[in-house]
């Protein structure tokens, strides 16, 4: 895993491609109950290249990506973004739906509809098949509870 990750870094591949494509050979597969190969790949990548991924100049500055996502969602219309995210979810693309749901929440932090979408997306990630490990499962369950409280009006915006 280490050698393959470093070779791909040297070949100029981006972090997300490497995370998707590097895997263990079947003879070394022991399950991912406590971690994930993709997370280890990311750690190796960042250990060698640092925090600056060279994807965007905005990585150099303190303004969080959510600020721009909120503006884009507001311009498109939060309802439009939510509907598009629901379409991605229905198409079996929960990770894409998650990015859109996070944009909707960034634009309208108190939206119960966006909070319900976050619940649905996190539940889909749990049910997506493949290996959801101990840490990922715990995080997804925690987020479902937080967003459920917001959707029911029990608290303010959950912290991430």
Residues 90-113 have pLDDT tens digits of 999 999 999 999 999 999 999 999
9 vs 48: CA distance, rounded Å: 9
| Angle CA 107–92–20, to nearest 5 | 90
pLDDT over threshold 90, residue 71: yes
The mean pLDDT value for 42-57 works out to: 87
Number of H helices, E strands in the chain: 8, 0
Cα 70 to its chain centre, rounded Å, is 16
Residues 9-41 have pLDDT tens digits of 999 999 999 999 999 888 887 776 667 889 999
Q: Which residue has the tokens 């022991």?
A: 30
Percent of the chain at pLDDT > 70 equals: 91
What is the overall mean pLDDT for the chain?
A: 89
**Residue scoring higher pLDDT (120 or 1):** 120
The mean pLDDT value for 80-89 works out to: 98
Burial class (CB in 10 A: 0-12, 13-18, 19+), 27: exposed
Q: Which of 155, 143, 138 is nearest to 102 (CA)?
A: 143
Give the pLDDT score at 155: 52
Percent of the chain at pLDDT > 90 equals: 64
């Amino acid at each position: 895993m280490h050698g393959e990750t470093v070779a791909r870094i040297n070949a100029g591949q981006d972090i997300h491609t490497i995370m998707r494509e590097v895997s263990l050979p079947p003879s070394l597969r022991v399950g991912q109950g406590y971690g994930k190969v993709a997370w280890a790949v990311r750690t190796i990548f960042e250990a060698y290249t640092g925090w600056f991924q060279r994807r965007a100049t905005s990585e150099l500055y303190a303004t969080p990506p959510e600020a721009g996502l909120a503006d884009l969602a507001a311009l498109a219309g939060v309802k439009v973004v939510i509907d598009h995210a629901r379409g991605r979810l229905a198409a079996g693309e929960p990770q894409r739906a998650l990015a859109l749901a996070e944009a909707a929440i960034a634009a309208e932090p108190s939206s119960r509809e966006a909070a319900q979408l976050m619940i649905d997306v996190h539940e889909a990630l749990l049910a997506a098949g493949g290996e959801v490990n101990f840490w990922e499962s715990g995080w997804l369950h925690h987020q479902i509870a937080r967003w459920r409280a917001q959707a029911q009006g029990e608290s303010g915006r959950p912290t991430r």
